[in-house]
Amino acid sequence: MENIDIARIFNEVADLLEIQGANPFRIRAYRTAARTLETLSVSVESLLKRDEKALEELPGIGQDLAGKIREIIETGSLELLREMTKEIPESLITLMRVPGLGPKRAKQIYKTLKIQTLDELESAARAKRLRELRGLGPTLEARILKGIAEERAHAARHRLAEAEAYVRPLIEYLSRLSNLQQVEVAGSYRRRRETVGDIDILVAAKSGAAVSDHFVHYPEVRQVLAHGATRSSIVLRSGFQVDLRVVPARSYGAALHYFTGSKAHNIAIRTLGVKRKLKINEYGIFSGSRRIGGRTELEVFKAVELPWIPPELREDRGEIEAAQNGTLPQLVQVSDIRGDLQMHTTYTDGKATLQQMVEACRCRGYQYLAITDHTKAVRVAGGLTAEEFQKQFRDIENIQKKMDKLAILKGAEVDILEDGSLDLDDATLGELDVVVVSIHSKFNLSKAAMTRRVVRALENRRVHILGHPTGRLLGRREPYLLDMDEVIRVARDCGVLLEVNAQPDRLDLNDLHVQMAKHAGVKIVISTDAHRIEELDNLHYGVDQARRGWCTPHDVANTYPFEAFRALLRK
């Protein structure tokens, strides 16, 4: 039982509690525990085997939730969830995630119209039956229909971090085979897209039958779809489909390139091959009937007179031309990052103290960090008043005295209010080293109104960074309407940095917007938005996103040495 499986059960309990209208603190306890499990670097099952009490020491997990984790590990399910789904169909969870519904309306529709599924909801919306209910008019009905289409599209794909949680143990399991020569995950996973569909694993081995037999007997398999010496397919208990292909070592590079994709990139490479009278496919590189290469990916690129192209760029968005012109970027790496510029502490909704977060950043070798707790408008996060920020400033100053190689920047994540003004007075803003501004409410403004709101905030001379600029939550909330061309232009003119938020459910900016910012000369920052120590390790997801946006270290402000970074803020 993987940590993410247990986290999923806890999130389902929280969803059902919301539908029931349960105590918000109880709901939050399950969500917090789920988040802890998702970011935990060790298996809770192994923790439990080592020490019965170890679970209770995890952040946000006390004796009660530790007992439920133990129950899930030992039985594979949770009695509480089974009891809850007797009263409320589990399918209602899907309904409540449709934009425009939420737990209260999902329950209203279920109770009044006996609707339980997306299909039933769609039929009722098209028949204009929803508007019979109080508070549901034609506008919301249309929004619900749009939301149903979005929900179905999201259901076919999974967040990159979620896929990674299942892929890592599977690759470790496969790697135990002695006859395995090479193994790699291909597809959109290797290209580090923010969401992935099926997982494609490519293996070079002397005995394909032995690898396939081992693969289909993986303990997490729910269903075997195909089982052969060169190709097998399974469905994991989580619902992920994983396809395995076994190829000879002489074809491995060609197959890896082919199955990594993207389709458009592969077509462009094959077209270059045809111009050179070559045939390039998953089996190798051929001149007539003679094989001339395919053992490595580099051989594929050399055959068409190109350097190796990083997987993140293989989307046919100009990477072929850049490779031909010698202008492929040297992409940013995790090791280039010198500081994290958004994180939260127990002053607001963080789960680690100020001292603990600072120490964790010191252990990661950073030169600087910014503490950016919320302002008072975010009530659910316990946002700080100006007076409470003053107390935090004094605490930061005291900790800084003991740190000679790590700069602790006084910061805040300041809410952008509906009219574009900021949720903190000018005097306090002036005392901050780093002002991150973000939107946490009123997501449904028109495109023009939302753009005006953001632009006004960026034009405030105190502002340094626009946090999670489009407000999206992958699979749960679409980005709000925003003219990104205008936002990027104003950010450039005002010297404001744009954040790539590395939270796995945000990854905001998206890769296309990152590339737009780069071309406009706007620098980005990659921040974790960490609410607990473990989430500082999410940095690599933000780096993946920046790499897909063609960013070099020069394009990312927090790769700069401290004094150079401070100069960027002053600009």
* Cα dihedral value 170, 172, 176, 178, nearest 10: 100
CATH class of segment(s) 334-570: alpha beta
Q: What does the block give as tokens for 183?
A: 């193994």
Measured from the Cβ of residue 126, the count of other Cβ atoms closer than 10 Å reads 11
Q: What pLDDT is recorded for position 223?
A: 92
For 114, residues 6+ apart whose C-beta sits below 8 A from its C-beta are none
3-155 under CATH 1.10.150.110, yes or no: yes
Residues 265 and 306 sit within 8 Å (Cβ to Cβ): no
Same fold, 3-155 and 158-247: no
Decide: helix, strand or coil at residue 483.
Answer: coil
- What are the beta bridge partners of residue 437? 414, 466
Decide: helix, strand or coil at residue 207.
Answer: coil
Distance CA 55, CA 61 (A): 7
CATH of domain 252-325: 3.30.210.10
Q: Which helix (H) or strand (E) holds 293?
A: strand 290-293
Residues 528 and 371 sit within 8 Å (Cβ to Cβ): no
CATH class of segment(s) 158-247: alpha beta
- What are the beta bridge partners of residue 508? 501
Q: What pLDDT is recorded for position 44?
A: 83
Q: Where are the domains of the chain?
A: 3-155, 158-247, 252-325, 334-570
Q: Is the peptide bond before 527 cis (omega within 30 degrees of 0)?
A: no
Each of the 571 residues of the chain gets a pLDDT tens digit; together they read: 678 888 888 988 888 888 888 888 888 889 888 888 877 767 888 888 777 777 877 777 888 898 899 899 888 889 998 888 877 776 777 777 777 677 778 878 888 888 878 888 889 889 888 887 777 778 888 888 887 877 776 667 889 998 998 999 999 999 999 889 999 999 999 999 999 989 999 999 988 999 999 999 999 898 999 999 999 999 998 888 999 999 999 999 999 999 999 999 999 999 999 999 999 999 999 999 999 999 999 999 999 999 999 999 999 999 999 999 999 999 999 999 999 999 999 999 898 999 999 999 999 999 999 999 999 988 777 889 999 999 999 999 999 999 889 999 999 999 999 999 999 999 999 999 999 999 999 998 999 999 999 999 999 999 999 999 999 988 778 899 999 999 999 999 999 999 999 999 999 999 999 999 999 999 999 999 999 898 999 999 999 999 999 999 999 999 999 999 999 987 6
Q: What pLDDT is recorded for position 390?
A: 96
